[in-house]
Amino acid sequence: MTKEEADNGRDDMVIDVPGQANAVPDGFNANYLRIYYGKLFPHADMFKWMSYGNDGKHPGCDKSYFGRREFSFTLENDIYIRFQSFNSVTELENSIKEKCPFKIDIGPVYSVDPAKRHAYAQSGNNVFTPVERELVFDIDISDYDDVRYCCTGADVCLECWPLMTIAIKVIDTSLRDDFGFNHILWVYSGRRGVHCWVCDGKARRLTNEQRAAIADYFHVYKGNENSQKKISLPGLVLHPFLARSYTEVLKGFFEAKLLPNQNLLASEERYEKILEMIPDASVASELRRRWQENKRASMSKDDINIVRWEQLKSILQSGKQKMQGLRRCVEEIVFSYTYPRLDMEVSRHMNHLLKAPFCVHPKTGRVCVPIDPNNCDEFDPTTVPTLSQLLEELNRGGLRQDAENEWDRTSLGESVAFFRTSFLQPLLKSCKEEIENSYNAKLQQSKNDLS
């Protein structure tokens, strides 16, 4: 570490142990954050994103747009400040560097600058109101605690993380194929889940009612610890969305991964949970009887879970089953274990605040990095860069002349590059087009009006 760097108030991190000159102890604190916000956090990219093309270069740009966006900061000691707004990238950057928030949330774009909201509230005409907001989703693995036996609560490992992966696949496919959205950003929440930001203009302008409709469209898993049957798939066949999700994602994952990895049928306690979902008591008893007799799969080398699952499917799907409720029972079981469990409230309202990408999670120190939905199988939450790791990498890199692109010499580089090429650039291109088209249309309209 050079003298300059040392003088920048990072003394507490200097460890004068030979061979460990660059090591940075694990942790999360204001000092680390200060460096992070100083050198690594992609302020300019966030600004470009949130401007949605309104950079003033085109006459059709809305210069007030960025300034009407709400940010909220959670400071050290849990001090929470809302309705922060900024008029330029510099203001944004300076405020973040100065306040060093432990968490940054992004809110909606309002009708007027949030800082001036009190002036407008007086008129009583509801003039201070959200006008745009990304369509967002939040999936948290702790909502799956009843179907994963490897971890509980905030913990996550490579055995259960795939539940998030398939959630991404199901939702992402539907957002693109069914709803026609294109500009979708998936982000690791830093500890135990994922967030989704749908940024198309159409999505940002959805009303609360329309957001609720989309959330309901995705709402299949309905229940809590008090309800017994949480998935109900009536009807002779599944809706194309559910059918596609089942055949392309859920079935394969359940049978090949979840079932054996979580030993869902290996013990009585676990298989009872599945037997409970079978509405026909005689079928359930028949299976129970068989499995009680056959405590291990003595005959075959195959995984006991898979053997038993085949038995279950064979009985339920045989043509002999007349009872109405059994028709979709197999699918219902698979859906209960694997179908995405969204937090409905997050998606329904425009004014819901959501954590900004590239924040650092206070409990894990991990950065909220984007996830590539086309490669989400490869994503490993246990190897996401941590704050201390990044600072260590910075140290190793030594002094650099250019202050820009520091992330390039750290593990964060990959994430920022991905953010730019896969998400930001296509989005901005599309925004520019939208602004131009809208501007030209207005010009044409006024020409028509005058003539």
- Least Cα distance to 364 among 52, 22, 103 occurs for 103
Contact pattern from residue 224 through residue 263 relative to other proteins, giving x for each residue in contact according to CB under 8 A and a dash for the rest: ----------xxxxxxxxxx--------------------
The answer to whether 392 and 24 are in contact (CB under 8 A) is yes
Q: How far apart are CB 424 and other proteins at their closest, in Å?
A: 22
Q: Is 145 a catalytic residue?
A: no
Task: Print burial letters for 51-82: b (CB count within 10 Å at least 16), e (below 16).
Answer: bbbbbeeeebbeeebbbbbbbbbbeeeeeeee
Any contact of residue 349 with other proteins (CB under 8 A)?
no
Q: Is 155 a catalytic residue?
A: no
Dihedral, 148, 154, 157, 160 alpha carbons, nearest 10: 30
In whole angstroms, give the CA distance from residue 187 to residue 90: 25
Q: Is 146 a catalytic residue?
A: no
Q: How far apart are CB 236 and other proteins at their closest, in Å?
A: 5
CB atoms within 10 A of CB 142: 16
Contacting residue, 100, 136, 199, 214, with other proteins by CB under 8 A: 214
Q: How far apart are CB 28 and other proteins at their closest, in Å?
A: 41
- Least Cα distance to 48 among 427, 414, 405, 353 occurs for 427
Q: How far apart are CB 188 and other proteins at their closest, in Å?
A: 28
Helix, strand or coil for residue 437? helix
In whole angstroms, give the CA distance from residue 339 to residue 334: 8
Judged by CB under 8 A, which stretch of 42-50, 210-218, 271-279, 397-405 contacts other proteins? 210-218
Catalytic, out of 55, 138, 143, 393: 138
Any contact of residue 206 with other proteins (CB under 8 A)?
yes
Restricting to residues 158-177, which ones interact with other proteins according to CB under 8 A?
177
In whole angstroms, give the CA distance from residue 110 to residue 132: 7
Kindly tell me the sign of the dihedral angle through the C-alpha atoms of 401, 403, 404, 405.
Answer: positive
List, in sequence order, every residue forming a beta bridge with 138; answer none if it has no partner: 195
Contacting residue, 212, 277, 307, 344, with other proteins by CB under 8 A: 212
Judged by CB under 8 A, which stretch of 84-92, 190-198, 208-216, 369-377 contacts other proteins? 208-216
In whole angstroms, give the CA distance from residue 154 to residue 238: 33
Contacting residue, 213, 256, 323, 417, with other proteins by CB under 8 A: 213
C-beta of 97 vs 348, nearer to other proteins = 348
The answer to whether 341 and 139 are in contact (CB under 8 A) is yes
C-beta of 103 vs 133, nearer to other proteins = 133
Q: How far apart are CB 136 and other proteins at their closest, in Å?
A: 17
Any contact of residue 141 with other proteins (CB under 8 A)?
no
Q: How far apart are CB 167 and other proteins at their closest, in Å?
A: 18
C-beta of 174 vs 410, nearer to other proteins = 174
Any contact of residue 353 with other proteins (CB under 8 A)?
no
The answer to whether 132 and 143 are in contact (CB under 8 A) is no
C-beta of 202 vs 257, nearer to other proteins = 202
Contacting residue, 21, 63, 81, 217, with other proteins by CB under 8 A: 217
Q: Match 């709400």 to its residue by tokens.
A: 70
Catalytic, out of 55, 113, 134, 140: 140
Q: How far apart are CB 203 and other proteins at their closest, in Å?
A: 10
Any contact of residue 178 with other proteins (CB under 8 A)?
yes
C-beta of 176 vs 409, nearer to other proteins = 176
Contacting residue, 87, 173, 210, 411, with other proteins by CB under 8 A: 210
Helix (H) or strand (E) holding 136: strand 135-140
Kindly tell me the sign of the dihedral angle through the C-alpha atoms of 379, 376, 152, 273.
Answer: negative
- Least Cα distance to 164 among 265, 42, 249, 52 occurs for 249
Kindly give, in sequence order, each residue whose CB lies less than 8 Å from that of residue 156, ignoring residues fewer than 6 positions away: 141, 191, 192, 381
Q: How far apart are CB 215 and other proteins at their closest, in Å?
A: 8
Contacting residue, 25, 180, 398, 426, with other proteins by CB under 8 A: 180
Restricting to residues 24-63, which ones interact with other proteins according to CB under 8 A?
none
In whole angstroms, give the CA distance from residue 77 to residue 393: 28
C-beta of 164 vs 196, nearer to other proteins = 196
Active site residues: 70, 138, 140
Site residues (vs other proteins, CB under 8 A): 177-181, 202, 206, 209-210, 212-214, 216-217, 234-243
